[in-house]
Structure 1
């Protein structure tokens, strides 16, 4: 396989992984978390969301891994551009930082969801009626510890698609920088900074 083939494959894997990560997270926030609101009992609202996120987690982590691993390969392929083309290294570093931060935010969101599920099950075992609006929105009657974790998860679940989306935007910039005109402009600016 030639370098150009590797670049094509790495780009495809990266883009598919990013799409899975971004799209799945948006669907989870907009659909999964809200779907429990249609159920009558708070414990069931939490259980439905927890079960759905648990089933999606392997696919989500596969998308994140594809984004990170293929992103490393794309950095290797674009090594000369990092040195020669103005802006390429900066945007590449921002993109890498966004991907790592997004993976961290995803992990924290999953951890928060696990805490909500565990605390909700404990409350149910103790015979306490759990009041929640949906999986991530408490009511005034929600136990304080559960409400705290719900707010944390809700905030993080909005941060994840922002970071994943910003990663995709940076990737678009990097892909466009391969166009002949962009390459010439970037190299010229690097070699002749006053222009």
Structure 2
């Protein structure tokens, strides 16, 4: 059985969409559940440790989703690039989507780095015998050491930027899929040929 360009598109689209869903869903779960789950524990160090442990376990899966999004996105551009280039507006959205995806991957890496710094600083404080007060993994308390609180604020900002970018990636992808509809193709080509 040979694969046609349409088959390649369908497979690449499925890999892209599953990867994007994994990336977006995981980060939303992290914001809503993982980072907050430590607040149910008594000790500040445990509040940080539980979130760090969960993120360390999920991180390979998250990066698998990001990798699938990036690689399948490249394949989709190869398979449908000519069609997108012919239709006014789709090329711009494609470029925007690529930029959003790269920015989202960088934001994810920065968020992971922030979490790692929080964990390292918390463990160092715990080893020194310092009292570590935090509300949860990303929200400092009045008694949180200044350096940890700084990294928690950075992490809190990054944790909202990542799902926003991952979600924007999905939205742009949904728009680009419309380039394969017959009506959208006709309108897009006419808009390209007939100036406003």
Q: TM-score normalized by structure 1?
A: 0.98
Between Structure 1 and Structure 2, how many residues are aligned?
A: 194
Structure 2: unaligned runs, 5 residues or longer: none
Structure 1: unaligned runs, 5 residues or longer: none
Hey, what's the Cα distance between the residues in 1 that align with 2:10 and 2:55?
31
Per-residue CA shift, 1:74-101, capped at 9, x if unaligned? 0011121232110111000000000000
- Counterparts of 1:37-56 in structure 2, within 5 Å, are 37-56=39-58
| Matched residue, 2:73 | 71
- Give the root-mean-square deviation of aligned CA atoms: 0.6
What is the deviation of 1:52?
0.2
Structure 1 moving runs of 4+ over 2 Å: none
- Counterparts of 1:85-96 in structure 2, within 5 Å, are 85-96=87-98
| Matched residue, 1:159 | 161
Q: TM-score normalized by structure 2?
A: 0.98
Hey, what's the Cα distance between the residues in 2 that align with 1:34 and 1:79?
42
What is the deviation of 1:156?
0.3
